[in-house]
Structure 1
Amino acid sequence: MPLKAMLMALSVAVIWGINMLTVKGAVAEIPPFMLTAIRFAAVAILLIPFTRVPRGRMGRLAIISVTFGSLHFGVLFFALSMIDAGPVAIIVLLGVPFSSMLATYFFNDRLGWKRLSGMSLAFVGVTIMFWDPTMTDLQLPLLLVVFAAFMWAVANVMIKKLGDIDTFQLNGWMALFATPQLLILSLAFEPGSVQAVFDASWVAWANLSFTVVMSSIVAYGFWYHLLKTQDVNAVVPWSLLAPVISVLGSFVVFDEAFSMLKIIGGIVVLCGVTVIMLRKPVQRKTQGMD
């Protein structure tokens, strides 16, 4: 990769790593569904004026807004309001093996024994983290993170089926559709969420601003540009730096406790995801194809 591309990839990893911490800080003051709704509303306001209407794709974008907006980000932010940022940053990596599993069905990809081994390692690592005594009372939020990771994989399949679409167009219109869903969830399950928004400190708003501008717009813009211009196998491994930054940052910023099972489980997950990312999927041959 050229130096410019490497710097862009590093920037994405750093932004995504810090983003987990900023979200954790923001949900301490603003309820998670309301926070996610505000995030998507801001993204829509910033991007839609500069994009064209995705004619013929509005229905599919609306469905993606449910999986990617409400069921991934909404659930992930909800889990972050109950659990430390470090474990979340690791467990959400299950989206990678989930994506591989879905690709075998929807895109005729063949996993191969090495990628299957990587998937197994990733799930074993998460299971080890579940065994940690400090996680005994946190099984529900941990399972919610696993669910959010699966919804990320589902959304990726749906986005790939959309075909070639501008990144800002995708993010902007998806955000517009997701905003009312999350507002309804907040009003239904988060009493006092509106007042919490008005009472939030400047720190919470700064954290939210970072999530909107740096993560949703800058990082994803860089990421999709890299995927289009560079070899995917050279780009994707850089994303593994993000959870490492999140875990170290959570220790420094939030003084989160570490245990041997958390460390071992996290390392096993990272190893498994690395194997999956570095193994290029091979498509099965079908009848009528050379």
Structure 2
Amino acid sequence: MKPRDVVLGVLTALLWGFNFIVIKLGLASFPPLLFLALRFLVAALPAAFFVGRKDIPWRVILQVGLVLGVVKFSLLYLGVNVGMPAGLSSLAIQSQVPFTILLSSIVLHDSPSRMQKRGMAIALGGIVLLAFTRQGNVDPLGVALILAAAVAWAVTNIFLKRTSGVDPFRLMIWMSLVPPLPLLVLSYLFEDGQVNAVSHMGAAGLGAVLYTGLVATVLAFGIWGRLLRRYSANLIAPFGLLVPVFGMAFSALLLHERLSSDGIFAATLIFLGLLTVVLGPRLERKLAQAAIHPTRVRASSETSTSD
């Protein structure tokens, strides 16, 4: 991967990690489905005034809008709303990584390399360790909702990977037109106090809507979709493993959810696993070249040293 794209992958993880804190705070102002509807209303506004749809098929817009916008995020917000901590939610949702790799292997025949598998094992080991360092009881319903959201996210990753010739930034904006109506209907049927929540949202509620709509949706998913178009899903999906690192860090700093030394060690394992996944294929190619042409590789190395 190009260094710039690696930075973009890390930046996306940071934005999503902080987003879990914003979601937790925003749910204090809004019912979950209403909050989510407002998020996508804000994200969709640029589509009506500034960004044209061009040749993006309505089929793709509807697929991503329904699976990502309605299904994935509804499950995520409901999971956080029933009591899942922000940091732990940012951790559990990253089960989308093995789900994405499994679906990519089945649907796209895009199997991970041996080094990538090892990196995934290291990173997932860090996630398991990080989960066991958490304190307190967690509602099984919340865990189930977050894991179901991860499956929906993995399906969306495959949709994005299979979409060719479509501007991901435009897609992320236009797909935001899809969720508000079904979410508002669901909110009307299953939630109460919507008018009061909107009329008394305050600065915190408004800030939560703007951040989740403009930053976490339009900006972050625009970057994510672009990276998925440029590289293998197996290479991009593991960047999501950094989300719980940032999510747990922000939770500790802002929500006073403290990490033990074991938690810090787990976060380190996740980062090392990510590096292995990202750099593994390049290392494997160099090792293969060294095995086939050891003299040429050694001579190249000596020339580089003399320069």
Match of 2:57 in 1: 57
Match of 1:43 in 2: 43
The 5 A counterparts of 1:42-121 are 42-53=42-53, 57-81=57-81, 82-116=83-117
Q: For 2:165 and 2:37, locate their aligned partners in 1 and report how far apart those are by CA, in whole Å.
A: 27
Please report how far the alpha carbon of residue 11 of structure 1 lies from its aligned counterpart in structure 2 after TM superposition.
3.9
Q: For the structure 1 residues 36 and 180, does the alpha-carbon distance in structure 2 shift closer, same or farther, using more than 3 Å as the test?
A: same
RCO higher in structure (CA 8 A, sep ≥6): 1
Match of 1:170 in 2: 171
The 5 A counterparts of 1:1-290 are 8-9=8-9, 11-53=11-53, 57-81=57-81, 82-116=83-117, 134=135, 136-224=137-225, 240-256=241-257, 258=259, 275-276=276-277, 278-280=279-281
Q: For 2:183 and 2:250, locate their aligned partners in 1 and report how far apart those are by CA, in whole Å.
A: 28
Matched residue type, 2:108: F
Matched residue type, 2:38: I
Please report how far the alpha carbon of residue 95 of structure 1 lies from its aligned counterpart in structure 2 after TM superposition.
1.1
Alpha-carbon deviations, 1:120-153, whole Å to 9, x = none?
A: 6666666666767855441111121111111101
Is contact 1:64–1:174 with CA below 8 Å preserved after alignment?
A: yes
Please report how far the alpha carbon of residue 35 of structure 1 lies from its aligned counterpart in structure 2 after TM superposition.
0.8
Matched residue type, 1:253: L
Please report how far the alpha carbon of residue 110 of structure 1 lies from its aligned counterpart in structure 2 after TM superposition.
2.3
What secondary structure sits across from 2:166 in the alignment? coil
> Unpaired segments of 5 or more residues in structure 2?
285-307
Please report how far the alpha carbon of residue 108 of structure 1 lies from its aligned counterpart in structure 2 after TM superposition.
1.0
Q: For 1:169 and 1:126, locate their aligned partners in 2 and report how far apart those are by CA, in whole Å.
A: 33
What secondary structure sits across from 1:78 in the alignment? helix
Cα RMSD, aligned residues only: 3.6
> Unpaired segments of 5 or more residues in structure 1?
283-290
Matched residue type, 2:191: E
Q: For the structure 1 residues 54 and 68, does the alpha-carbon distance in structure 2 shift closer, same or farther, using more than 3 Å as the test?
A: farther
Matched residue type, 2:176: A
Q: Which has the larger radius of gyration?
A: 2
Indicate the percent of aligned positions where both proteins have the same amino acid.
25
Matched residue type, 2:96: G
Matched residue type, 1:76: L
